[in-house]
Amino acid sequence: MAGMRNWGRRGLGMAAAGLLAAPSIVVAQGREGRITVASKIDTEGALLGNIIVQALRRAGLTVEPRLSLGPTRIVRGALLAGEVDLYPEYTGNGAYFFERLEDPAWRDSDQGAALVARLDLEANRLVWLDRARANNTWAIAVRRDVAQREGLTTLEQFFAKATQLRLAASAEFVESPVALPAFERAYGATFPRDRITILPGGDTAVTMRAAAQGLSGVNAAMVYGTDGAIQPLGLVVMQDNKQAQIVYEPAPVVRQALLERFPQIRTALAPVFGGLTQEVLQRLNGQVAVEGKTPEAVARAHLGT
């Protein structure tokens, strides 16, 4: 992440992109009774966008999808500019949207959600609706057979067994102060750098496969908390009991004016996102990333539409 993680999934560095100002134009906002729904370009963004579209249509609303619109910079900018009405975002990105990285609230699920909701409403007249209790943050996973043999469930135990593990990660994960070094500060331990296999890029699919297949002795991997391949590849995410990482829980973000016009948006989406637990979102992501199903098909099957 190096302070600027990939724009597609969580999209950091919005402040530098000039996206904090209130929108100057409003061109979507339910024009002709349609609600324009966007999403980010990554797998989970497309899945959540399709879930929102199907849930709103099931509630009798007319929806114009603009899914997989682009990385966070593009989608957030479109919402602020009034070009789209609604899209799924992550609570922890408020730390970057509002340049409050050091606020401890972001490492607490409830506090972070409340803070970003208040800041975005005051600054941009945007409303954060009920979030999913699924944390798509940086994490470390261990191959299940190794975790069971060594009794590993938490990061304390992970660091205690470091000399018996080999971690696959990107250079960014190893070097960025907010990634592996943040875990090390929180747990008062250092993972030996000679026991880390650096893989090019930041694709967790690559690091997970390395751990699952035991490539070069790798048995642990840098992951995102809701990665769809975690369960199918037989990996177990280590619990971050000391809250080393910012919490990134997905929630629909909608224009206040549009929500006032269509209040049924809130009631349509609340139970849907309320049912997206960590395990459920991992499973749905896996159906797309591992089984090759389309995000639309997975969303329809999940909602029974």
pLDDT for res 202: 75
Same domain, 154 and 225: yes
Q: What is the residue type of 179?
A: A
Same domain, 288 and 229: no
Question: Cα–Cα distance between 135 and 248 in angstroms, integer?
Answer: 5
- Tokens representing 127 are 């409303």
- Strands (DSSP E) contained in 164-276 are 167-169, 196-198, 220-224, 235-237, 250-255
Could you tell me the sign of the dihedral formed by the alpha carbons of 262, 110, 47, 58, in that order?
negative
Residue 1 in domain: no
Q: What is the CATH number of the domain that holds 201?
A: 3.40.190.120
Residue 5 in domain: no
- Tokens representing 69 are 């619109």
Same domain, 131 and 67: yes
pLDDT tops 70 at residue 25? no
Question: Cα–Cα distance between 64 and 46 in angstroms, integer?
Answer: 14
**Within 10 A of 305 (CB to CB), how many other CB atoms are there?**
12
pLDDT single digits (tens) 199-227:
987 789 999 999 999 999 999 999 999 99
Could you tell me the sign of the dihedral formed by the alpha carbons of 157, 162, 163, 166, in that order?
positive
pLDDT for res 200: 86
Same domain, 119 and 35: yes
DSSP 3-state percent helix, strand, coil across the chain (nearest 5): 45, 15, 35
Residue 7 in domain: no
Question: Cα–Cα distance between 123 and 253 in angstroms, integer?
Answer: 14
- Tokens representing 88 are 């799924």
Bridge partners, 253 (sequence order): 87, 128
Same domain, 19 and 114: yes
Question: Cα–Cα distance between 208 and 141 in angstroms, integer?
Answer: 8
Q: Which range marks the domain in which residue 268 is found? A: 15-135+251-303
Residue 50 in domain: yes
Q: Which of 27-36, 175-184, 239-248 is predicted with the least confidence, judged by mean pLDDT?
A: 27-36
Question: Cα–Cα distance between 181 and 160 in angstroms, integer?
Answer: 16
- Please give the model's pTM, rounded to 2 decimal places: 0.86
pLDDT tops 60 at residue 3? no
Number of domains in the chain: 2
Same domain, 191 and 57: no
Same domain, 231 and 256: no
